[in-house]
Amino acid sequence: MSVPASNAGWQKRSLAAVWHPCTQMQRAFTVPPLPIARGEGPWLIDQEGQRYFDATSSWWVNLFGHADAGINDAIKRQLDTLPHVMLAGCTHAPAVELAERLSALTGGVLGHAFYASDGASAVEIALKMSFHFWRNQGRADKREFVCLKHSYHGETLGALSVTDVAIFRDTYDPLLMRAHLAASPDARQAGPNETAADVATRAAADMRRLLSERHEHIAAVIVEPLIQCAAGMAMHDPSYLQALRQLCDEFGVHLIADEIAVGCGRTGTFFACEQAGIWPDFVCLSKGITAGYLPLSLVLTRDAVFEAFLDEDIARGFLHSHSYTGNALACTAALAVLDRFEQEGVLAANRERSQLLAEALAPLRGDPRIAHFRQQGTIFAFDVLEAYAPGRFAENFHLAGRERGLLIRPIGRTVYLMPPYVLDAPLAAWLGARVIETLDAVCARSTTESHADRAPDPTVA
């Protein structure tokens, strides 16, 4: 088949052959996907040469820009050496070094790494491992899990069972395990005279009630530390994580930190948990760990958990496996990411980058059209008030952004930025200005839109 040199040509072929994720495909015929031809730093370039700033890091995965020479070189060298070998019965240097270096980043507290490919698989592994740990201890009755309101942990059946986002979950509810829902510490719930820490204290009290009642049956609590991203960048006070750690210790329950979105420096520290000064029993990592180049996920856990599976009986071992577990190319990309953090002072540079973006977005503070302007590390978000957010707000904002060279996807009425770690002063100023312009354009439109257009918003994440 000949290759059409236009966006329209690729859009037509894509809609005829590709079933796109997180998309009502009927709507995609009206709002077709953007055909990207190339990536260059933070820019994505379509088939017709238009450039778009990747303001959400391609679903939160990209760290240092697209087609980065350093990451590319590392992958190319590994490609010519060993692309992949199974990790059962074999091992290889990138998998070993990555496990060692990640463990070192936890001060050796989480001494073992178990590999998989996608974030949801890492969540499945953490849930199964926690249950199996208790079973090996003669506590097979500990088989329940606790997640937070508005949590998101992925969309395979186990991960969806600990997810509380209606649009992803409700249809499949009949297929899911029953998890306990505990209050979210989302700081937006603070009353007039309350702080984020007060909300955290209240949410921790709710968790205490639940654990004191059910701890004999509960294997683990799973949490997204500091930011519930898919809930709409709901941020909370680090004291909540300290309270959780203490409660889990008190009641003999595992703490699983899903750092799939918030890990790798997004919140200002390499692991979000560092800001609370705690270590969980399991950390799930994926997304940014390969800089957004290759699928890789992993679960870090304590040596005491690892040792509870050692036995002559094969069934007491953790037999979970995926074909591409510990893929050598993906592990190599992850090692290149860790090199960058070590050698280039990424976290310190990000503090400056975020400061620049905060200045560029300063006009939005106190803007009457928005509420809850918030920031944690490299992530910025605000909620557009309903009166200013017409039907299909997220889609309208996305399309208005595209017209201005901005690739951005609000979650409902929450507009957020999770840019790759590349901002300098001119780029931060440009980005801030385009976001404000896009908001002005979309909100201006709201007054002229008719009620017939107020259909439910199909763009959810």
Q: Which residues are annotated as a binding site for pyridoxal 5'-phosphate?
A: 119-120, 258, 322-323
Strand positions, DSSP E, 97-236: 112-116, 144-148, 180-182, 218-223, 227-228, 234-235
Residue numbers in the known binding site are: 59, 119-120, 152, 258, 287, 321-323, 409
Binding map of ligand PLP across residues 271-310, x = CB under 6 A, - = no contact = ---------------xx-----------------------
Q: Which residue is nearest to ligand PLP (CB)?
A: 119
Cα 17 to its chain centre, rounded Å, is: 28
> 347 vs 115, 330, 377, CA distance in Å?
25, 22, 9
Nearer to ligand PLP, 74 or 229 (CB): 229
* Cβ neighbours, 10 Å, residue 260: 28
β-pair partners for 45:
38, 51
Query: Alpha carbon of 381 to those of 49, 273, 413: distances in Å?
Result: 29, 20, 10
Phi, psi of 300, deg, nearest 5: -95, 135
Q: Which residue type sits at 377?
A: G
Question: 63, 74, 229, 283: which one contacts ligand PLP (CB under 6 A)?
Answer: 229
Among 64, 115, 134, 152, binds ligand PLP (CB under 6 A): 152
**Of 68 and 224, which has the nearer Cβ to ligand PLP?**
224
Residue 222 beta carbon to ligand PLP: minimum distance, rounded to whole angstroms? 9
Asked if residue 261 binds ligand PLP (CB under 6 A), the reply is yes
Measure CA of the first residue to CA of the last residue in the chain; give whole Å: 33
Please say which residue, 159 or 428, places its beta carbon nearer to ligand PLP. Answer: 159
CB of 155 to ligand PLP, least distance (A): 7
Of 46, 54, 68, 118, the one binding ligand PLP by CB under 6 A: 118
Q: Does 333 sit near ligand PLP (CB under 6 A)?
A: no
Of 368, 356, 372, the C-alpha closest to 414 is: 372
Q: Is 241 in the site for ligand PLP (CB under 6 A)?
A: no
Quickly count helices (H) and strands (E) in the chain.
Answer: 15, 16
Stretch that binds ligand PLP, among 152-160, 183-191, 319-327, 434-442 (CB under 6 A): 152-160
Residue 357, phi then psi, degrees to nearest 5: -70, -35
Residue 21 CB, nearest approach to ligand PLP (Å): 9
Interface with ligand PLP in residues 334-393 (CB under 6 A): none
Binding residues for substrate, as ranges, are 59, 152, 287, 321, 409
By 3-state DSSP, what share of the chain in percent is helix, strand and coil, each rounded to 5?
45, 15, 40
List of residues contacting ligand PLP (CB under 6 A): 118-120, 123, 152-154, 224, 229-230, 258, 260-261, 286-287
